[in-house]
Amino acid sequence: MSDSPVLLQRDGAVATIVFNRPEQLNALDVAAANAFDAACAQIEADASVRVVVLRGEGRCFGAGGDLAAFHGGEAQANALRIIEPMHQGLKRLTALNAPVIASLHGSVAGGSMSLALGCDLAIAADNTRFNLAYANVAANCDVGGSWALPRVVGLRRAMAIALLCETINADEALAMGLVNRVVPAAELTEATQALAQRLAYGPTLAYGRMKRLLRASFDNDLSTQLDHERDAFHASAGTQDFAEAMSAFFERRRPAFKGH
């Protein structure tokens, strides 16, 4: 396997971003952050990608920021060198029509947990352990954690997760809504692939509009949201996938979506 800190793999319409520092528990340093953004930029520029998967190589998804980068006189400068490309990469991913899946196992902590929260869907092995961990190193959230966490679990629970830094097991994460599904560790790869393939054959443009509507709903009043829904449905009704869905319904067959 390549010694790059982040790998980009393709399987048909599915692009997989792999955090590839297993000996460092996939901790995010400057090189990894830049490689992550570069992988996201490649995906952003490739209209054939219809699903994105994020996973970690080795024992875990990711232990968060690499503390070695913050030890010494370069803490603030290195913080920006890591955070800025991570944030840019996350912005690229969240703007995609393609659904983004976090495939999680082992430790998911700090910035790695924030990144997982920013994905559209999350599937976790039963050995996954979550800890936001920032307060343990006298820091605050980055990589969108402060935005996503209260939207996923509610403000009061988000406060406890952020301030107390208690470890959350996979079943607890499922009950809180941090993940959508928990599977045995031995089945994580297969279950992730099945979910990715299911979405890869779906109506990609409609997925993108649905994602944007759901995310915007927290900031819009009902009247504004209704206007956005109207406009998005009107646009969807003009797509090839919508026409295919109508034909398939009346012909009593499964639609064959092309993502446009």
Run means of pLDDT, 10 residues per run, the chain, 260 residues: 90 97 96 98 97 98 92 88 97 97 98 98 98 94 96 97 97 97 98 97 96 95 97 96 96 94
- Stated as kind and residue range, the H or E segment containing 228 is helix 222-236
Nearest to 61, CA basis, from 119, 148, 1, 136:
119
C-alpha span between 76 and 244 (Å, rounded): 53
C-alpha span between 94 and 54 (Å, rounded): 13
User: CATH 3.90.226.10 spans which residues of the chain?
Assistant: 6-200
User: CATH 1.10.12 spans which residues of the chain?
Assistant: 204-251
CATH dotted code for 6-200 = 3.90.226.10
pLDDT of residue 3: 87
Q: Which residues face 183 on adjacent strands?
A: 125
| pTM assigned to the model | 0.94
Q: Cβ–Cβ contacts within 10 Å for residue 231, how many?
A: 12
Q: Using alpha carbons only, what angle is made at residue 118 by residues 116 and 123, rounded to the nearest 5 degrees?
A: 40
Residue 130 CA: distances (Å) to CA of 121, 148, 178: 16, 15, 9
Angle between helices 30-44 and 75-94 (to 10 degrees): 20
Give domain 204-251's CATH architecture. Answer: Orthogonal Bundle (1.10)
pLDDT of residue 244: 96
Q: Cβ–Cβ contacts within 10 Å for residue 240, how many?
A: 13
